[in-house]
Structure 1
Amino acid sequence: MSLKLLLNDYRLTTAEILYHMPDHPGLLQTYVWQDYDKAPQYPVLRRFLDFWTRELDGPLHSVKVAGQKLIVPPETRVADALLTLH
């Protein structure tokens, strides 16, 4: 992953994809997909899902998406007290 993509708000994205099995449409199967993608549009995930619907037999049931920024601003805290020791 290049620093340029990380600075452009790309993040590690995980999608849990539930789909109907082609031979047994009443059963659901899970597929976990993970890649770097840009929220909230998720262009990489959308291309993958377009490929899925176009090329694969198992129709999609649902997709759950989670993302985590990899570069975040540091947390700052204000000191409650200042002590001086001699």
Structure 2
Amino acid sequence: MPTARVPDPQFRKMLSGFGMTFAEILYRMPDHPSFLQSFSWQFEDMAPDYPRLRRFLDHWEREIEAKIHSVRISHERLIRPQEIRLMRELGHLH
């Protein structure tokens, strides 16, 4: 009896829409309000809701004194539908 194959959990995440996300957060510190500073972060998240990023930003707003100016997001799905072409059979290989 063949053994059931279990898909890799990481692969299942990719199929459900998770992808590599890059966030650049521009912020100002209270003691230097004229300076705009940058924090960059690369992580896996799911577009378009970005639950991991939202949790991080909620934490930032609650726990960090720096005021967020803006957040820029770039997201790339790791797996996406591919173009499939059917080829007609040309002959038999021996």
With structure 1 as the length reference, what TM-score do the two structures score?
0.82
Number of aligned residue pairs: give it. 79
Q: Which runs of 5+ in 2 are unaligned?
A: 1-8, 86-94
CA distance in 1, matches of 2:64, 2:31: 13
Secondary structure at the counterpart of residue 27 of structure 1: strand
Runs of 4+ in 1 over 3 A off after TM superposition: none
Using the aligned pairs only, state the percent identity.
49
Superposed CA RMSD in Å reads: 1.9
Q: Which one has a bigger Cα radius of gyration?
A: 2
Equivalent of 1:8, from 1, 7, 16?
A: 16
**Aligned runs of 1:1-86 on 2, under 5 Å?**
2-75=10-83
Gap runs ≥5 in structure 1: 78-86
* Aligned mates of 1:59, 1:65 — CA distance in 2: 18
TM-score relative to the length of structure 2 = 0.75
